[in-house]
Amino acid sequence: MRLNKYLADCGVASRRACDKLIAEGRVAVNGKIVDQMGVVVNPDNDHVTVNGKRVAVKHKTYYILLHKPKGYVTTVSDELGRRTVMDLIDIKTRLYPVGRLDYDTEGALILTNDGDVANKLTHPKNQVSKVYVCRISGEITNAEVAKLERGVEIDGKLTLPAGVKVLESDVHHSRVELTIREGRNRQVRRMFEAIGKDVEFLKRVAVGEIRLGGLSRGKYRFLNEKEIAYLKSLK
């Protein structure tokens, strides 16, 4: 790689500005000052400094929203040979799914190689909201809605208060939007089980301010600057 491009990739300055730094004798490769254009360096082996300080290529970070379909596990690999969400991502950089969606659940899943952001999203203190649209068996009553809103007992501990919005309901099925701020194992399904309802379909439509929108099943998109800024703003 040409030295000026390497310096630019390291975030030192633009290529033209890097040419000027080189011409001024402010760049050294393996301890030797370089003041000629066109020098080629090996990013993996050469030691490059600017004004005596070593520079290196910045780690490129990716922030991706995937519409996870049913039938995929939310792991990087699976010992049982099942399809994983990574099979849907055509990016060479190693990414990691943030949190989990069950095998039979679809919807919004964030993947990144930014460990700090991943930790912010999953740390219990931040209580990042997750919004689900659920189709459940039977009609849901006002009393059952109130119970979900207050919190139901799972493994001997009450869930945090939830947001519940009934989208439609009849004697056969109900569609409910459920907003939770924690991430216990199979939590949404178990919350409905606690009020005697079976979940027939479950889709996560938002993680915090990141919304799934019209993204098709199995497809992904890069988060925009506003969405990335939101993730980084989490404490």
142-166 pLDDT, tens digit each: 999 999 999 999 999 999 999 999 9
Instruction: Provide the CA 112 distance to its chain's centre, in angstroms.
Output: 5
Would the pLDDT of 59 be above 80? no
The pair of three-digit structure tokens given for residue 203, joined into one six-digit string = 């889709």
pLDDT value of position 74: 94
Please report the pLDDT score of residue 43 as a whole number.
Answer: 83
Is residue 102 among the annotated active site residues? Answer: yes
Find the mean pLDDT for residues 104-120.
93
Mean pLDDT of 124-147: 96
183 — pLDDT class (breaks 50, 70, 90): confident
pLDDT band, residue 24 (cuts 50/70/90): very high
Q: Please state which of the ranges 92-96, 159-163, 169-173, 195-199 shows the lowest mean pLDDT.
A: 92-96
- Distance CA(3)–CA(40), nearest Å, equals 5
CA 100 to chain centre: 10
pLDDT of residue 188: 97
**Tally of residues, the chain:** 235
Tell me what pLDDT residue 10 has: 86
Q: Which homologous superfamily does the CATH classification assign to the domain defined by 129-207? A: Alpha-L RNA-binding motif (3.30.70.1560)
- pLDDT surpasses 80 at 62: yes
Answer yes or no: are the C-beta atoms of 139 and 170 closer than 8 Å: yes
Q: What is the pLDDT of residue 13?
A: 86
pLDDT of res. 41? 93
Q: What is the arithmetic mean of pLDDT over 66-77?
A: 95
Distance CA 224, CA 157 (A): 38
> How many percent of the chain have pLDDT more than 90?
77
Give 200's contacts (C-beta < 8 A, 6+ positions apart): 135, 136, 137, 173
- Return the pLDDT at 212: 97
The dotted CATH code for 61-126+213-235 is 3.30.70.580
Domain with CATH 3.30.70.580 in the chain: 61-126+213-235
Catalytic residue among 102, 104, 155, 198: 102
Question: What's 3-54's CATH class?
Answer: alpha beta
Residues of the chain with CATH 3.30.70.1560: 129-207
| Number of helical H runs and strand E runs in the chain | 6, 15
CA distances from 53 to 25, 60, 64, 78, 87 (A): 14, 21, 33, 43, 41
